[in-house]
């Protein structure tokens, strides 16, 4: 072997050592069973592994990690019992719904990879608001206020948790496939990112928003339409439309002068646009999804043990 | 130079260049890598923390300006933590116990984190009242140092020093928590007089002790003013941090045998003194209304009180009747106030008293024979009232459970110990 050959072989060796990159496996988490039998959380951790980690490649984090949240907020963890209830409800009212109505693979491919539970709300004392959930980069959903979970109150469950989950998941979906640009034009000029919290439900509805927060910016408007439509009963949805048809009442109880906006028509127009986008972009029939959610809401006690 | 020789030379130079880059390394300061050392520290701390069979007494300060609380913590090898406490933050101020999960993680060094909710511990971190802030306390603690009997920690976010002391195996948790809570109540209450300490001939007052954070003030315009957080210990108090006053350093204090003051451990010639002479304390207090309460009456006075109540019921339809001692600025005199209540309406009459301090803790009370119109009307009309006034017109020996915080003061007749009554601040 001459000098040239040796040199080239050495060089190739060096190059090889640099080019042997790790290939992505099927999971970003270690799905091996490392749970310690006899640990205080063994039973629950085993259930989480079987319910979330193995099938969905999802890390359900109920032990609070402050580094996994916004350190500017003062927060507390979720209680163990509330975390157990929440994990069961999230599976029943979210993951199993999509698995049944859309496809078993849908959330495996498009669902979040981390769900992080926080016990308290994330208060913003300056604006007087509180954060109920966040979705980060299509990967992580954080749910706040979990210590207030009351499985017997479906309306509160929807308001504080499941509407939030569908809201955050809709964000994940539109971060993957954009919603129509035209949606943002419907209420253009009516969004108020800093003052939305001072609007009443009535005021928001007359402007064509399903909630005050929907009036903060158009991407929130888009996901609020989806989330509210999914979790609200027919009566509750009709109430929103009825509110949108009446003169608005502001926070002082005063009637707002008619500005010619047909809030009801706008909400329905937005809903149709969201339905079409879900169907065309994701092959999701929102009405089927909604029917399944509402059916399951009546049977919540069956899943809690 | 041939092309092949040229390539060979380049490759050899490159390889030669890599060798010294690997050789010129600093000698290792530690035998193990940072990750290995962190893992070892976590393992060592885990052993120490879970080996305390009866758990730990935790001196908890939410942050460096907050009062201290005693929490009891047992860390089980299963990862389950049991916590208990009794304080104004527990439900109805009663003893409470619950559990949560804990872990020791590698964060800012080894960190003890209680990562599911416990109402005993996380009450300090719950961001409510006021919303967004709460009590601004930690539930994650950087472990600074650990011995088998003591662990020194620091709150991860707010930085307060938190101490764990191993509980003796024979101590009952509830008993300790109850005793500590009762001791705290003995030492401090909202109506307790401010404490005083003389340092280098200068008097400093320590007020607001019931809040767990003293407001310490010197006298004079430019006097020192300090907020001094402290925790109640088994025999006294301990400041969160050492405090220097007039060049003297203070941190821990013990209640003296007379229960009249807290004696500095570091400088025993200095004492945080409560009331020295109960008679002078009452005589000089023109603000407090002292209620004479039925449970504190001797049998003679109790009979008299019941007769008075019955008479007031007959005369005025009274639902209840009561006595109090107070200074009345309009009358410029101490008064015995007699009042009765019908429904929500209370009617009061005043009888003027002379109150004179004699020997230490000796107070002489005498009826002046004067009063306001209502007082004199009651004196004449209500059966037994004149006897009651006569009975309390005497010299009394004053006593209380702890002069540092006289919550109830007993008046025992100097000439007859079977006659007594007691007062407490309204």
A 10 A CB-CB count for B199 gives 18
Residue A287 and residue A204 in one domain: yes
Residue A202 and residue A162 in one domain: no
Q: Give the nearest partner residue to B8 out of A7, A40, A66, using CB atoms.
A: A7
CA-CA distances (angstroms) from residue A218 to A102, A171, A182, A268, B61? 26, 12, 10, 15, 45
For B242, the enclosing helix (H) or strand (E) is strand B236-245
For B118, the enclosing helix (H) or strand (E) is none
Residue A293 and residue A201 in one domain: yes
Task: Give the range among A130-144, B180-194, B344-358 with minimum mean pLDDT.
Answer: A130-144
Chain B: give the shortest CA distance to residue A266, in Å. 35
Query: Mutation test of the interface with chain B: which of A13, A76, A117, choosing the one with the most B Cβ atoms within 10 A?
Result: A76
- Beta bridge mates, A141: A115, A135
Q: Say if residue A285's pLDDT is above 90.
A: yes
Q: Of A44, A6, A93, A8, which Cα lies nearest the Cα of A300?
A: A93
pLDDT in tens, A54-67: 999 999 999 998 76
Residue A85 and residue A166 in one domain: yes
pLDDT in tens, B79-102: 999 999 999 999 999 999 999 999
Residue A73 and residue A193 in one domain: no
Q: Does residue A24 lie in a domain region?
A: no
Write the ipTM: 0.81
Euclidean distance between CA atoms A121 and A208, whole angstroms: 28
> Nearest 5°: phi and psi at B290?
-105, 120
Q: Does residue A19 lie in a domain region?
A: no
Is A148 part of the contact surface with chain B (CB cutoff 8 Å)?
Answer: no
Euclidean distance between CA atoms A168 and A131, whole angstroms: 12
Q: Does residue A21 lie in a domain region?
A: no
Residue A171 and residue A205 in one domain: no
Q: Which domain holds residue A67?
A: 32-176
In total, the C-beta contacts within 8 angstroms joining chain A to chain B are 89
- Beta bridge mates, B228: B214
Q: Mean per-residue pLDDT for B24-28?
A: 63
Domain boundary among A151, A176, A201: A176
Instruction: Kindly indicate the confidence band of residue B193, based on its pLDDT and cuts at 50, 70 and 90.
Output: confident
> Nearest 5°: phi and psi at A181?
-60, -30
Q: Say if residue A187's pLDDT is above 80.
A: yes
Indicate yes or no: CB of B131 within 8 angstroms of CB of A125: yes
Question: How many alpha carbons fall within 13 Å on the CB side of residue A300?
Answer: 21
Yes or no: say if B152 and B142 are a contact pair by the CB < 8 Å rule. no
Q: Does residue A256 lie in a domain region?
A: yes
Indicate yes or no: CB of A39 within 8 angstroms of CB of B79: yes
For residue B257, give the 3-state DSSP assignment: coil
pLDDT in tens, B308-344: 988 989 988 889 889 999 999 999 999 999 999 999 8
Centroid of chain to Cα B239: 11
Q: Does residue A15 lie in a domain region?
A: no
Q: Give the nearest partner residue to B127 out of A39, A71, A123, using CB atoms.
A: A123
Indicate the angle between helix axes A263-282 and A286-297, nearest 10 degrees: 100
Q: Give the nearest partner residue to B127 out of A40, A65, A75, using CB atoms.
A: A75
Indicate yes or no: CB of A63 within 8 angstroms of CB of B115: yes
Q: Say if residue A16's pLDDT is above 50.
A: no
pLDDT in tens, A76-106: 999 999 999 999 999 999 999 999 999 989 9
Euclidean distance between CA atoms A60 and A83, whole angstroms: 10
Instruction: Kindly indicate the confidence band of residue A239, based on its pLDDT and cuts at 50, 70 and 90.
Output: very high
Which of A248-257, B49-58, B302-311: highest mean pLDDT?
Answer: B49-58
Instruction: Kindly indicate the confidence band of residue A20, based on its pLDDT and cuts at 50, 70 and 90.
Output: very low
Chain B: give the shortest CA distance to residue A249, in Å. 27
CA angle (B361, B253, B400) in 5-degree steps: 25
Set of chain B residues whose Cβ sits within 8 Å of the Cβ of A80: 100-101, 116-117
Q: Give the nearest partner residue to A4 out of B4, B122, B139, using CB atoms.
A: B4
CATH code at A302? 3.40.390.70
Q: Does residue A16 lie in a domain region?
A: no
Yes or no: say if B365 and B351 are a contact pair by the CB < 8 Å rule. no
Fold entry, domain B34-173 = Lipocalin (2.40.128)
Q: Mean per-residue pLDDT for A243-247?
A: 92
Domain boundary among A110, A141, A176: A176
Query: Mutation test of the interface with chain A: which of B127, B137, B142, B158, choosing the one with the most A Cβ atoms within 10 A?
Result: B127
Q: Say if residue A15's pLDDT is above 70.
A: no
Q: What's the number of domains chain A is made of?
A: 2
Q: Which residues of A271-305 are buried (b: 16+ CB within 10 A; e: fewer)?
A: bebbbebbeeeeebebeebbebbeebbeebeeeee
A 10 A CB-CB count for B43 gives 12
Yes or no: say if B339 and B346 are a contact pair by the CB < 8 Å rule. yes
Chain B: give the shortest CA distance to residue A22, in Å. 23
Set of chain B residues whose Cβ sits within 8 Å of the Cβ of A64: 115-116
Yes or no: say if B382 and B312 are a contact pair by the CB < 8 Å rule. yes
Q: How high is the pLDDT of residue A3?
A: 47
Domain boundary among A161, A176, A191: A176
Is A15 part of the contact surface with chain B (CB cutoff 8 Å)?
Answer: no
How far the first Cα of chain A sits from its last, in Å, is: 73
Task: Give the range among A173-187, A210-224, B18-32, B164-178 with minimum mean pLDDT.
Answer: B18-32
Is B108 part of the contact surface with chain A (CB cutoff 8 Å)?
Answer: no
Q: How high is the pLDDT of residue B36?
A: 83
Euclidean distance between CA atoms B75 and A227, whole angstroms: 42
Indicate yes or no: CB of A119 within 8 angstroms of CB of B101: no
Q: What is the 3-state secondary structure (H, E, C) of chain A?
A: CCHHHHHHHHHHHHHHHHHCCCCCCCCCCCCCCCCCCCCCCHHHHHHHHHHHHHHHCCEEECCCCHHHCCCCCCCCCCCHHHHHHHHHHHHHHHHHHHHHHCCCCHHHHHCCCEEEECCCCEEECCCCEEECEEEECCCEEEECCHHHCCCCCHHHHHHHHHHHHHHHHHHHHHHHCCCCCCHHHHCCCCCCCCCHHHCCHHHHHHCCCCCCHHHCCHHHHHHHHHHHHHHCCHHHHHHHHHHHHCCCECCCCCECCCCCCCHHHHHHHHHHHHHHHHHHHHCCCHHHHHHHHHHHHCCHHHHCC
Is B285 part of the contact surface with chain A (CB cutoff 8 Å)?
Answer: no
């Amino acid at each position: 072997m001459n000098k040239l050959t040796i040199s080239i072989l050495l060089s190739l060796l060096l190059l090889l050592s640099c080019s042997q990159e790790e290939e992505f496996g099927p999971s970003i988490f270690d799905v091996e069973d490392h749970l310690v039998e006899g640990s205080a959380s063994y039973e629950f951790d085993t259930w989480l592994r079987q319910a979330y980690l193995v099938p969905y490649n999802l890390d359900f984090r109920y032990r609070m990690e402050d580094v996994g949240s916004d350190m500017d907020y003062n927060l507390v963890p979720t209680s163990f019992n509330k975390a157990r209830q929440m994990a069961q409800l999230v599976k029943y009212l979210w993951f199993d719904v999509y698995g049944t109505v859309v496809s078993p693979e849908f959330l495996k491919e498009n669902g979040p990879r981390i769900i992080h539970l926080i016990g308290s709300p994330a208060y913003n004392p300056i604006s007087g608001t509180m954060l109920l959930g966040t979705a980060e980069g299509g990967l992580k959903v954080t749910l706040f206020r979990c210590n207030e979970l009351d499985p017997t109150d479906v309306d509160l469950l929807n308001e504080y948790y499941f509407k939030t989950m569908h809201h955050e998941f809709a964000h994940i979906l539109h971060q993957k496939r954009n919603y129509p640009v035209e949606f943002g034009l419907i209420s253009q000029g009516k969004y108020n990112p800093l003052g939305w919290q001072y609007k009443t439900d009535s005021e928001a509805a007359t402007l064509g928003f399903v909630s005050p927060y929907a009036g903060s910016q158009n991407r929130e408007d888009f996901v609020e339409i989806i989330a509210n439509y999914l979790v609200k009963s027919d009566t509750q949805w009709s109430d929103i439309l009825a509110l949108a048809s009446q003169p608005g009442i502001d926070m002082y109880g005063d009637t707002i002068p008619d500005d010619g906006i047909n809030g009801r028509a706008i909400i329905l127009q937005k809903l149709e646009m969201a339905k079409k986008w879900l169907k065309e972009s994701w092959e999701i029939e929102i009405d089927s999804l909604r029917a399944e959610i509402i059916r399951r809401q009546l049977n919540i006690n069956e899943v809690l043990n | 130079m041939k092309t092949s020789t040229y390539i060979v030379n380049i490759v050899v130079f490159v390889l030669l260049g890599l060798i010294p880059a690997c050789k010129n390394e600093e000698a290792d300061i530690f035998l193990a890598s940072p990750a290995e050392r962190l893992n070892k520290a976590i393992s060592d701390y885990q052993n120490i923390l879970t080996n305390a069979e009866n758990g730990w007494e935790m001196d908890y300060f939410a942050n460096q300006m907050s009062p201290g609380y005693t929490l009891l913590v047992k860390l089980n090898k299963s990862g389950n933590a049991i916590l208990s406490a009794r304080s104004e933050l527990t439900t109805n101020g009663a003893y409470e116990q619950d559990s949560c999960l804990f872990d020791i993680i590698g964060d800012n060094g080894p960190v003890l984190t209680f990562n599911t909710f416990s109402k005993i511990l996380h009450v300090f971190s719950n961001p409510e009242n006021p919303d967004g802030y709460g009590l601004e306390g930690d539930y994650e603690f950087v472990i600074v140092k650990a011995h088998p009997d003591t662990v020194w920690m620091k709150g991860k976010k707010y930085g307060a020093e938190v101490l764990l002391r191993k509980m003796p195996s024979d101590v009952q948790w509830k008993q300790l928590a109850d005793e500590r809570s009762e001791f705290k109540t003995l030492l401090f209450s909202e109506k307790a007089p401010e404490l005083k300490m003389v340092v280098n001939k200068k008097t400093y007052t320590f007020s607001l002790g019931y809040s767990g954070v003293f407001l310490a003030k010197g006298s004079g315009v430019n006097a020192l003013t300090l907020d001094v957080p402290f925790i109640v210990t088994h025999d006294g108090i301990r400041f969160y941090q050492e405090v220097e006053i007039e060049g003297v350093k203070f941190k821990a204090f013990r209640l003296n045998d007379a229960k009249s003051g807290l004696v500095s451990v570091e400088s025993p010639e200095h004492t945080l003194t409560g009331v020295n002479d109960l008679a002078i304390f009452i005589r000089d207090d023109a603000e407090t209304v002292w209620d004479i309460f039925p449970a504190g009456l001797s049998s003679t006075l109790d009979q008299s009180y019941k007769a008075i109540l019955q008479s007031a019921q007959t005369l005025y339809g009274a639902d209840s009747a009561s006595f109090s001692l107070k200074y009345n600025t309009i009358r410029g005199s101490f008064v015995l106030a007699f009042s009765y209540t019908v429904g929500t309406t209370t009617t009061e009459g005043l009888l003027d008293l002379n109150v004179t301090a004699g020997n230490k803790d000796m107070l002489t009370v005498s009826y002046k024979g004067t009063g306001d119109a209502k007082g004199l009307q009651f004196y004449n009309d209500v059966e037994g009232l004149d006897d009651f006034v006569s009975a309390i017109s005497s010299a009394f020996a004053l006593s209380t459970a702890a002069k540092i915080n006289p919550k109830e003061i007993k008046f025992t007749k100097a000439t007859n110990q079977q006659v007594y009554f007691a007062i407490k601040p309204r």
